[in-house]
Amino acid sequence: MHGRQRNEASKPEETAAKALELRSLQSQFMSNHHQKIYTQEAIQLSAKLLGINPESYTAWNYRKLALESRIDEDSDPSLVDSIIDEELRVVQNALKRNPKSYGAWYHRKWVLSKKGHYYSSLEKELQLLNDYQKQCLVNDYQKQDDPKKQDNARNFHAWNYRRFVVELTETSEEDELQYTTDMISDISFSIYSAWHYRSVLVSSLVAKKADGFMPKETIRRELDYVHNAIFTDEVEQSGWFYYLWLLDQTLKMETPLRFSSWPSDGSIITTFCSESGSFPLILYFDQAVSGVNSSTVTIDSELQGHEDLVWEPVSDNKNSQVDSCVWVAHLKFDSGEPCFSRNEYKVKVSLGGIVSSMGCNLSTPYEFVFTVLHTVGESSQQGIVSWTDGFDNWDDAQSKDLISLIALNADAGFEWRKNAIKIEIDHLRNLPDSKFGKLILARLLMAEETMISDDAVKGFHYTEILQLYNDLIALDSWHAQYYKDEHSVALLHKVTSSTKSMSRHLFRYRKMNNIVCLRLNNLTLSRIAAVEKLLFVQMLDLSHNALHSAEGLEAMQFLCCINLSHNRIRSFSALDSLRHLKQLRVLDISHNHIRGENPVDTTRYLCSSPLSNSGEVGREVPCKYWDAYLVLRDLMEMKQFDIRGNDLIFSGEEFSSFVRQVVPKLVWLDGHKLTN
């Protein structure tokens, strides 16, 4: 356990003798404990038991009771001192037996808190801990050729205990930071706990704005320091983890840098007399925000019903009820108005007072204006939607303002962050072939792309990024799926990096009033990304890829048609994101690997159990269709559904009847028109 070497098996007779001795000790100890006997002999018996078995929590609790029975506030300080020193010696002996004993370390903390109650000076304990940690690490470093003998280098119990002692002794964070420097520089770069402790200390000092710890200077100094570790031994992971943490601090902005919206500024939205009387208004920020409501987002328009607009967060994360990157409201229009002529309405949206996930108030107002065109027409399909014909090529003249990323005022540290990223990219380019170096270089190049505002140079890095992930797939097959996911993210960002590159994948579907269709099929995508640039898309073709999930599509509230056929989706729970798409009318999930039994995501049943076999009032849901029910019940506007080529339980009349009950407006199922 915890990487400790298992002792060689003893001879059977020796094992039997030890077991007999242990049972005898335990029997005598339990008798003393039940009778509350706290004599010196009984206490020594418990110490002997803990020397053999440091994990005996009952014995540690017994010693706590014994100590409290022997001392009080009026006890002689010298007596208290000797009793507590005795307890510390018992703990020390137990730790020799097992340096990672939870009970022993906790008991030492408890004893020390008692000592602190009576005495103010604990520097001696801190010095003992310094010597103990350094000696353990030196011993492990000397045994580095035999990892099985390294027991203490990653002893997080000792480091947690250290933080406890530091708090009691009120040792300064600057002194502790120097201690981590001594441990890393003088002993080994591979002490992960020291790097982690260093990140905690640096975060605290920067947050307090301590002298010499302003963000720009501190991060630059720490980056230069960690270079010694990653360039000396690029295989050792500890320094790389700290380096990743520093890069995250470099990129982390207190306020969102940009957001996208749909409708975008200057766009024209067409609504039809036949529609339900509302359309979604979407705000997408590059970090989670809260406080999006009718007072922070105001609407100025001739349309009725926008005064008390309700904004809701859109997220598949069930714990994300307040902060979200995506917020949606449904703007109403008068669908009962006669449509003998086209009616245009200007809508102005103003933002201000929204709070970022870092707690920063976005007080500077921003606004955008779009036009709603209410006209005669029919937006829904009259027949079955085909994914093979009915498409017209995209007119480049229509590409204006498709990518509606709106730049917000960057904080004062934006420029130095950009420069820091450039410096790190140059450093990593000089690193010999290393999977860590390649991975982090790819991440840095992606980060730099997000900071580029000049369209003339945007997208310059994507070819190199994609090649880096291809190299990693070949270099590190154990993590190939992760690299494929990251490759998909980079590829989608490349496709959406400019209107020119995106227009190659855009079409108009003439059978549904020329709605916008984005075709991303046959790209070997395994993950969905860059959706903030795709909010305008109404028809999306993701067929013939390697997707395992629909996660990310929940932000695309304008979607009415989705093709996810010929992917690697294994369950309906992987399609949970689609529940948020209230306008979805066509869904194709044919030829995947969706099964009807053994759903993966069991956390979904914490509130609604499939064992109850009950859905809404008056509706019984077969257990084998429960996952499907949880997704389909929210797709009330769906008219066409294709699930062919999956588990056979989805191909019978029973499933057809179930779907028609759950989705009452369904007309087409698996390519066949349903009869009344």
The model's pLDDT over 450-478, given as tens digits with 9 standing for 90+, comes to: 887 766 677 789 999 999 999 999 999 99
The pLDDT of residue 306 is 64
**Does any domain span residue 9?**
no
How many CA atoms within 13 Å lie on the side-chain side of 143? 14
**Does any domain span residue 462?**
yes
| 215-220 mean pLDDT | 92
The alpha carbon of 236 is separated from its chain's Cα centroid by a whole number of angstroms, namely 25
Mean pLDDT of the chain: 82
The pLDDT of residue 606 is 40
CA dist 313 and 315 (Å) reads 6
**Does any domain span residue 351?**
yes
CA dist 153 and 141 (Å) reads 8
DSSP 163-204: HHHHHHHT--HHHHHHHHHHHHHHT-TT-HHHHHHHHHHHHH
**Does any domain span residue 568?**
yes
The pLDDT of residue 152 is 55
Pairing verdict, β 312-313 and 278-290: unpaired
For residue 628, the domain's CATH number is 3.80.10.10
Whole-Å CA distances, 198 to 21, 39, 175, 211, 450: 45, 45, 11, 17, 29
Residue 78 burial by Cβ neighbours in a 10 Å radius (0-12, 13-18, 19+): exposed
Size of the chain in residues: 676
Could you tell me if 354 and 450 lie in one domain? no
Could you tell me if 642 and 546 lie in one domain? yes
Q: Tokens 């870092």 belong to which residue?
A: 358
Residues 54, 104 contacting (CB under 8 angstroms): yes
Could you tell me if 503 and 538 lie in one domain? yes
pLDDT tops 90 at residue 499: no
CA dist 73 and 113 (Å) reads 14
Tell me how crowded residue 602 is: count the other CB atoms within 10 A of its CB: 10
Residue ranges making up the domain that contains 109: 21-137+147-212
Whole-Å CA distances, 422 to 105, 302, 432, 462: 45, 48, 18, 16
The pLDDT of residue 609 is 41
pLDDT tops 60 at residue 630: yes
For residue 290, the domain's CATH number is 2.60.40.3710
| 1-11 mean pLDDT | 53
| 481-488 mean pLDDT | 97
Using the 3D structure, point to which of 455, 489, 523 is the last residue of a domain.
Answer: 489
Whole-Å CA distances, 251 to 212, 236, 276, 494, 523: 21, 24, 43, 20, 30
What's at 233, amino acid-wise? Answer: D
DSSP 292-328: -STTTEEEEESSSS-TTPPPEE--S-TT-SS-EEEEE
pLDDT tops 70 at residue 205: yes
The pLDDT of residue 266 is 82
pLDDT tops 80 at residue 178: yes
The pLDDT of residue 2 is 46
DSSP 614: B
| Residues pairing with 588 in the sheet | 563, 642
The pLDDT of residue 153 is 54
User: 235 or 47: whose pLDDT is higher?
Assistant: 47
Whole-Å CA distances, 157 to 103, 139, 506: 10, 18, 57
Could you tell me if 351 and 310 lie in one domain? yes
For residue 442, the domain's CATH number is 1.25.40
| 409-424 mean pLDDT | 79
The pLDDT of residue 508 is 92
Could you tell me if 448 and 590 lie in one domain? no
The pLDDT of residue 605 is 42
The pLDDT of residue 404 is 60
Which tens digit of pLDDT belongs to each residue from 149-175? 445 556 788 888 888 888 888 889 999
**Does any domain span residue 607?**
yes
The pLDDT of residue 603 is 41
Q: How confident is the model at residue 408 (pLDDT cuts 50, 70, 90)?
A: low
For residue 109, the domain's CATH number is 1.25.40.120
Pairing verdict, β 278-290 and 354-356: antiparallel
How many CA atoms within 13 Å lie on the side-chain side of 163? 12
Lowest mean pLDDT among 315-324, 441-450, 545-554, 575-584: 315-324
Could you tell me if 188 and 114 lie in one domain? yes
| 338-350 mean pLDDT | 73
| 319-347 mean pLDDT | 71
Could you tell me if 357 and 328 lie in one domain? yes
pLDDT tops 90 at residue 259: no
CA dist 505 and 251 (Å) reads 31
Tell me how crowded residue 458 is: count the other CB atoms within 10 A of its CB: 16
Residues 310, 292 contacting (CB under 8 angstroms): no
pTM here is: 0.83
Using the 3D structure, point to which of 489, 522, 547 is the last residue of a domain.
Answer: 489
The pLDDT of residue 610 is 41
Could you tell me if 265 and 301 lie in one domain? yes
Contacts of 9 (CB under 8 A, 6+ apart): 15
**Does any domain span residue 272?**
yes
Could you tell me if 82 and 193 lie in one domain? yes
Using the 3D structure, point to which of 489, 515, 531 is the last residue of a domain.
Answer: 489
Pairing verdict, β 586-588 and 561-563: parallel
Residues 377, 274 contacting (CB under 8 angstroms): yes
Which tens digit of pLDDT belongs to each residue from 276-286? 577 889 999 88
Report the number of distinct structural domains present in the chain: 4
Could you tell me if 64 and 50 lie in one domain? yes
Could you tell me if 503 and 361 lie in one domain? no
Could you tell me if 501 and 485 lie in one domain? no
Pairing verdict, β 324-332 and 343-351: unpaired
Residues 620, 614 contacting (CB under 8 angstroms): yes
Contacts of 573 (CB under 8 A, 6+ apart): 599, 600, 601, 604, 627, 630
The beta-carbon contacts of 450-459 under 8 Å, at least 24 apart in sequence, are 450/257, 450/286, 451/257, 451/414, 451/417, 451/418, 451/421, 453/407, 455/498, 458/497, 458/498, 459/494, 459/497, 459/498, 459/501
**Does any domain span residue 554?**
yes
Which tens digit of pLDDT belongs to each residue from 538-565? 999 999 999 999 999 999 999 999 999 9
pLDDT tops 60 at residue 272: no
CA dist 571 and 95 (Å) reads 49
CA dist 233 and 671 (Å) reads 59
Q: Tokens 């049943």 belong to which residue?
A: 605
Check whether the bond before 263 is cis (ω within 30° of 0). Answer: yes
pLDDT tops 70 at residue 338: no
Q: Is the dihedral of CA 151, 154, 157, 159 positive or negative?
A: positive
Which tens digit of pLDDT belongs to each residue from 31-89? 999 999 999 999 999 999 999 899 999 999 999 999 888 887 777 878 888 888 898 89
**Does any domain span residue 401?**
no
Token couple for 492: 């989608």
Which tens digit of pLDDT belongs to each residue from 119-146? 545 767 788 787 777 777 666 655 555 5
Phi and psi, residue 368, nearest 5° = -145, 155
Q: With pLDDT > 90 as the criterion, what percentage of the chain qualifies?
A: 39
